[in-house]
Amino acid sequence: MPENAANSLRDGQPVIRVVNLVKRFEGRAVLDGINLEVHKGQTLVIMGGSGCGKSTLLRQMIASIWPDEGHVEMFGQNLGELDDGELDKIRKRFGILFQSGALFNSMTVGDNVALPLREHSSLDGNTIEVMVRMKLELVGLRHAVDLMPSEISGGMKKRAGLARAMALDPEILFYDEPSAGLDPVTSAEIDQLMMDLTQKLGVASVVVTHEMDSAFRIADRMVMLDGGKVLKAGARSEFEAIRDASATGETTHDLIRQFLRGDSDGPITRRRLSSNYEEDILNAAAGKYS
Amino acid sequence: MTMSQAQRGWLERLGAKVLGGFRYVGGMSLMLGDTLRWTVLGLVSPRVRLGRRAIAEQLVRVGVRSLGIVVLVQLFIGVILALQMTPPLRDPWRQEAMIPNIIGEAGFRMLGPILTAVVITGFAGASIAAEIGTMVVAEEIEAMEAIALNPVRFLVVPRFWATFLAMILLSVVADLCIALGGHITALLVLGPTVYEGYWTRMQRQLDMLDFTTGLIQAGVFGTLISLIACYEGLKVRGGAEGVGRATTMTVVYSIVAIIIAACVFTVVFYVYKL
């Protein structure tokens, strides 16, 4: 564990805290007053429909974009108040798996994994070589060490991206759609790896996903976003209870239930259909022919 | 006096353009500052590797791969200059023997660097913008920042120095090719009045200052091309369409910047009699 990792946090203090976070694009609030916490050794799954701001929230947690209001704290430090050097120190303590893997295409798979070690550790070349092979073995890609990203499949790119994210033994791992586009076996393998990292090494994980099977497999806590707000946050068991319950007629409950079950009928569909369709058509026609 | 809606709209658009221009130049200046800072850090701090291998790779890509096209273009420029100059110098002045003097002066001081810069803009500038833009789209830059690696250090610094060095080296080649193009034309078309003593007259016309001012300009053009290409690449948004726009704007802005810089150099050289 990197220096100061343990003693920079008080007991029970979250490793990530998102406080009243607001993000607007062209005046429209994509995220509107988000609050959430992630603790050491915990996996938080963030869910929600397409365009609800999940990836935007993730990008603010990794300081890739900045909020318009509110802030993100990591290891007790407000990211917005850090200078570049301090931010880089924080960045060395977390890893991220991007949706596409985001491997550097000009380097081999092995070099991709070795890069953070070469730049941020004082290990010699041989040790780095051994560590790269160990990380690649964890994701089942030891044989691909000398291959270029263009020579491997999408799933392999994602696994190589995960090996790179783990290179510096991070305390937090972020995953953006880790299972998207993967076959069920590879997807289950990545889920298992994520659970191992959390349970055995105490890594905190934040996962953005649409895959409900995967979400229920890995989550300790879940958050559902809708319309830029947290619709519900709670333990996995609470979401399982909603998924398995009958519709109650209460909109929020039924909306979450429809999303979790992937039903074609429910509040989400009705909301979409009831959006003044006839009025829109009449207005468009009036504009065109006036 | 009140402004009409149309006048206000026009003024707002003009203001937005001016502000956009300032923002663009400001952004590039910050990137140049960052590039120089990382270069100095790379030279003085053992913990910051400058990536000499990356610079060498970029030098091959920018310099070596465009060598052939630079040679071809500049040879033809020498031919064109010689053929265009001959009629007005011959009739009625009978001064065609001055052709090597003119080719040397024009080629070494301005045409060599400026036309090389235009070739490099199309050949390497656009490709740098496309490469970095594609990396942005593929989330590679975001991944780089997420593992605490600075994109300016890893992407801009090698391309900046490679383009800078390639422009200077290629300008030397360009100068020689323009002169050679003129000589070949004299030999094959213009006759002994021009080709006899061609190299001696050119040598007498030129001094070291003509050569060095050309190289200084080449370095500045290389700086402009690399900065514009990297800046356009790094600010790509919107997928493949954004990459296409970045490559187009790199070529347009680079050529405009090169011409403006050349004009400024010419005025300075004229005023200070350099």
CA distances in angstroms from A264 to A52, B138, B151, listed in the order given: 18, 33, 44
CA distance B139 to chain A (A): 5
Rounded to 5°, angle at Cα A154 from A150 and A158: 105
Provide the pLDDT for residue A274.
61
B206-225, pLDDT tens digit by residue?
999 999 999 999 999 999 99
Contacts of A96 in chain B (CB under 8 A): 143, 146
Q: Residue B48: pLDDT band by 50, 70, 90 thresholds?
A: confident
Cβ contact, residue pair A88, B138, below 8 Å: no
DSSP assignment of chain A, as one string? --TTTTTTS-TT--SEEEEEEEEEETTEEEEEEEEEEE-TT-EEEEEESTTSSHHHHHHHHTTSS--SEEEEEETTEEGGG--HHHHHHHHTTEEEE-TT----TTS-HHHHHHHHHHHH----HHHHHHHHHHHHHHTT-GGGTT--GGGS-HHHHHHHHHHHHTTT--SEEEEESTTTT--HHHHHHHHHHHHHHHHHH--EEEEE-S-HHHHHHH-SEEEEEETTEEEEEEEHHHHHHHHHSPP-S-HHHHHHHHHHHT-SSSHHHHHHHTS-HHHHHHHHHHHHH-
DSSP assignment of B200-234, as one string? HHHHHH--HHHHHHHHHHHHHHHHHHHHHHHHHHH
Q: ipTM of this predicted complex? A: 0.79
CA distances in angstroms from B43 to A236, B38, B39, B47, listed in the order given: 53, 9, 6, 10
Cβ contact, residue pair A64, B145, below 8 Å: yes
Contacts of B47 in chain A (CB under 8 A): none
Cβ contact, residue pair A119, B148, below 8 Å: yes
Contacts of A164 in chain B (CB under 8 A): 143, 147
Show me where the domains of chain B are located.
Answer: 51-271
Show the tokens assigned to A111.
Answer: 């070099």
Cβ B118 vs Cβ B255: under 8 Å: yes
Of the residues B139, B144, B154, the best mutation for testing chain A's interface (the one with the most A CB atoms within 10 Å of its CB) is: B139
B5-37, pLDDT tens digit by residue?
777 888 889 999 999 999 999 999 999 999 999
B87-122, pLDDT tens digit by residue?
999 888 889 899 999 999 999 999 999 999 999 999
Q: pLDDT tens digits for chain A (290 residues)? A: 444 444 455 667 899 999 999 999 988 889 999 999 999 989 999 999 888 889 899 999 999 999 999 999 999 999 999 998 899 999 999 999 998 889 998 899 999 999 999 988 889 999 999 999 999 998 888 899 999 999 998 888 988 999 999 999 999 999 999 888 788 888 888 888 889 888 888 899 999 998 888 999 999 999 999 888 999 999 999 999 999 988 888 888 888 999 999 888 888 877 776 667 777 777 777 776 65
CA distance B150 to chain A (A): 9
For chains A and B, count residue pairs whose Cβ atoms are closer than 8 Å: 55
CA distance A186 to chain B (A): 22
Cβ contact, residue pair B146, A103, below 8 Å: no
CA distance B73 to chain A (A): 31
Residues of chain B with a CB closer than 8 angstroms to some CB in chain A: 49, 135, 138-140, 142-149
C-alpha count within 13 angstroms, C-beta hemisphere, residue A252: 10
Side by side, which strands form the sheet with A16-25?
Answer: A28-38, A16-25, A69-74, A77-78
Least CB-CB distance to A98: which of B135, B142, B148? B142
SS3 state of residue B109: helix
Residues of chain A with a CB closer than 8 angstroms to some CB in chain B: 59, 62, 64, 87-89, 91-92, 94-96, 98-100, 102-105, 115-116, 119-120, 161, 164, 167-168
CA distance A103 to chain B (A): 6
